[in-house]
Amino acid sequence: MAKEIERKYLIDVEKWEKIEKPIGQHYRQGYLVTDPQKTIRVRLTDTKGFLTIKGISVGATRSEYEYEIPITEAKELLDNFSISELSKIRYNIVYRGMTWEVDEFLGDNAGLFVAEIELQSEDEVFELPEWVGQEVTEDDKYYNSNLTINPYKNWNR
């Protein structure tokens, strides 16, 4: 079974804005299923489409199956079958040999920045960049699927 081991962190936006970063990739992301036990997601970038199925998270680990699909089909699925959607800009930053994916959310989630790091095991050791803040791996309100239902703009902060 395919597994994803991922930890999530909030970003110190003030520090993040001071670092040099690559050009980000715009993502349009919609959900066909948002269930506590599983999600089925369609993601569209400028150059690719993906269908992803994820299982329930246990700690930082969950089942994940991801398949590249034609861009036209990804757009059709989003336009015709998505029950909820978000958009974001993703930046891939390499720090100390590890790739961090930093998402700058747009629309109803504007102002939220989340960094993710994929690991080989839950106990893998890695260093946090100075712009990484509080860990939110097990806080389900930061799951992208939940951000489509309860967006950041509605949170009491």
> In the prediction, which pLDDT does 1 show?
65
Q: Say if CB 27 and CB 42 are below 8 A apart.
A: no
**What global pTM score does this model have?**
0.94
What is the CB-side half-sphere exposure of residue 37 using CA atoms within 13 A? 0
Task: Identify the pLDDT of residue 128.
Answer: 97
CATH of 3-154 given 3.30.2350.10, 3.40.50.200, 3.50.50.60, 2.40.320.10: 2.40.320.10
Clarify whether 142 is annotated catalytic: no
Closest CA to 44 of 88, 12, 92, 109: 88
The answer to whether 90 touches 133, Cβ cutoff 8 Å, is no
Contact in structure between 82 and 31 (CB atoms under 8 Å): yes
Query: Is 89's pLDDT higher than 80?
Result: yes
Question: Rounded mean pLDDT of 20-47?
Answer: 95
Where does the pLDDT of residue 119 fall: very low under 50, low under 70, confident under 90, or very high at 90 and above?
Answer: very high
Q: Domain locations in the chain?
A: 3-154
Kindly tell me if the per-residue pLDDT of 157 is higher than 80: no
144 has a pLDDT exceeding 80? yes
Of the pLDDT bands very low, low, confident and very high (cuts 50, 70, 90), residue 75 is very high
Asked whether residue 3 carries a pLDDT value surpassing 90, the answer given is no
Please state, in angstroms and as integers, the Cα–Cα distance from residue 131 to each residue in 100, 106, 115, 127, following that order: 11, 20, 10, 12
Q: Give which of 62, 85, 59 is closest to 147, Cα–Cα.
A: 85
Q: What percent of the chain has pLDDT over 70?
A: 99
Mean pLDDT over 60-77 rounds to 95
23 class by beta-carbon count within 10 Å (0-12 exposed, 13-18 middle, 19+ buried): exposed
Mean pLDDT score, 62-77: 96
Which of 31, 91, 142, 152 is the catalytic position? 31
Average pLDDT of the chain, as a whole number: 95
pLDDT (mean) for 9-32: 96
pLDDT at 22 over 70: yes
